[in-house]
Amino acid sequence: MKKYLSFFRLRFLTGLQYRTAALAGIATQFAWGFLEIMVMKAFYETDPGVYPMTFRATVSYIWLQQAFLAFFAVWMVDSELFEMISNGNIAYELCRPIRIYSMMTARNLANRTSRAVLRCLPILLVAAFLPKPFRMEPPVGIAEFLLFVVTMLLGLSVTVAFFMLVYVLAFYTISPQGLRIVFCSLVEFLSGGVIPLPFFPEPVLRVLELLPFASMQNVPLRIYSGDIAGEEMVRAVGLQVFWLVALVVVGSMLCRMAERKVALQGG
């Protein structure tokens, strides 16, 4: 276990070095957040009756999403690992007494956490003091807040575990580019990255809620403002746990197969 903590530590420290990237990220996230809230406000004002969430919940959803973008945005993957797989430097990792799956998981968790740590505080702070309608309200209650934290960590884990499948597939393809693009756009859309899931039509939503994509950012960002509560919440958390276990089991099995079959590229 200590090995993987060390991987986490080093990747985390590496991530903290990129200060300019973080500043640029914060600026982008603010612009994006304002833009989204304005669009949503226009929707809301047209007909509040058909609007599927409360407006307050939408605003919290958007700001939390921007603040923790690094946790859930699918494209925030550790691309060094992809390079290692496609140019064969992964050979060195295979020469070490470590599980490749756990190593890649630790690195991805660290990469996302380091980026989120640099970005989230300024965004949350400013968002809490903005004038209405842009202001992010505090969570509905202490219990909801604690659940928000727990489900956010679960959601982060599901996101990372899902992306592990893409890494494993990259062992078999020559270039990971195509896989990345397909998976990124798919996950971004189906996980509520573009618009929150309640905005999908009812029949589609019922299916989507069962998929692993709904166990990523959808659950924590909606629990925070009480948009998911009661029985629905229990079910959502249960699904998160289920998907996390399923993805990790399948992923680590496939990874072991890939390690054996893989032809290392580049001599």
Q: Contacting another protein (CB under 8 A), which of 34, 44, 55, 99?
A: 99
Q: Contacting another protein (CB under 8 A), which of 44, 51, 54, 98?
A: 98
Q: Contacting another protein (CB under 8 A), which of 19, 50, 92, 132?
A: 92
Q: Contacting another protein (CB under 8 A), which of 41, 43, 91, 195?
A: 91
In angstroms, give the least distance from the CB of 17 to another protein.
Answer: 6
User: Does residue 267 bind another protein (CB under 8 A)?
Assistant: yes
| From 8-16, 53-61, 194-202, 222-230, span contacting another protein (CB under 8 A) | 8-16
In angstroms, give the least distance from the CB of 77 to another protein.
Answer: 17
- Tell me the DSSP string of the chain: -HHHHHHHHHHHHHHHT-HHHHHHHHHHHHHHHHHHHHHHHHHHHH-TTT-SS-HHHHHHHHHHHHHTHHHH-TT---HHHHHHHHHSTHHHHHTSSS-HHHHHHHHHHHHHHHHHHHHHHHHHHHHHHSPTTSPPPPPS-HHHHHHHHHHHHHHHHHHHHHHHHHHHHHTTSS-SHHHHHHHHHHHHHHTTSSS-GGGS-HHHHHHHTTSGGGGTTHHHHHHTTTSS-HHHHHHHHHHHHHHHHHHHHHHHHHHHHHHHHPPPS--
User: Does residue 17 bind another protein (CB under 8 A)?
Assistant: yes
Q: Contacting another protein (CB under 8 A), which of 23, 31, 94, 246?
A: 94
User: Does residue 71 bind another protein (CB under 8 A)?
Assistant: no
Q: Which residues bind another protein (CB under 8 A)?
A: 2-3, 5-7, 10, 13-14, 17, 80, 88-89, 91-92, 94-99, 259-260, 263-264, 266-267
